[in-house]
Amino acid sequence: MPNSNAFDIVSPEGFLTDLVVSYRKYKISKVKPTRDLLYIVMGLNHLREWIAPGFKGGRSTPNSAEEFFSEKVFQSREHQAIRAVCNASKHFTGKVGTSVDYGANIDDWPDFDSVQSVDDGPPTAHYIDNRPVEVLIEPLITLYESYLGEIPK
């Protein structure tokens, strides 16, 4: 697989490892900064392009194991939802139903300056089309791990 040269993340396996570590931290946190989730969402959306550079999911015919896997990811229900959020955030369009829960105690706020609303506090949960993001992220991580290898806990 090609070397991406993205700072010190130099392979799809390395990128997946970083995404999984970031997701595990996000999942166990009392408060869930949207910036952390956006990194995970954008990374999971684009990781298939690291696996099969130049392959256009849904528009190209797969010709290699990498491209067949990329197409499998592209067609998955979870990736479609993640891709929609990624593209909506990139283009700042409201075409995807996202929402958040709030309610963290002010003592649990890790970074007061990044809180978008002092009245609400930081997010404690995120949803895509009324589904917790975890029900989309975890199957997608499992799919990537089925190809790149499981990330140790």
* 126 phi, psi to nearest 5 deg: -125, 150
Q: How many residues does the chain have?
A: 153
CA distances from residue 127 to 42, 76, 99, 117, 124 in whole angstroms, order as listed: 15, 18, 5, 18, 10
Percent residues over pLDDT 70 in the chain? 84
Q: What is the pLDDT of residue 48?
A: 96
Q: pTM value?
A: 0.88
As a whole number of angstroms, the distance between CA 101 and CA 99 comes to: 7
Q: If we measure between CA atoms, which residue out of 78, 81, 100, 97 comes closest to residue 34?
A: 100
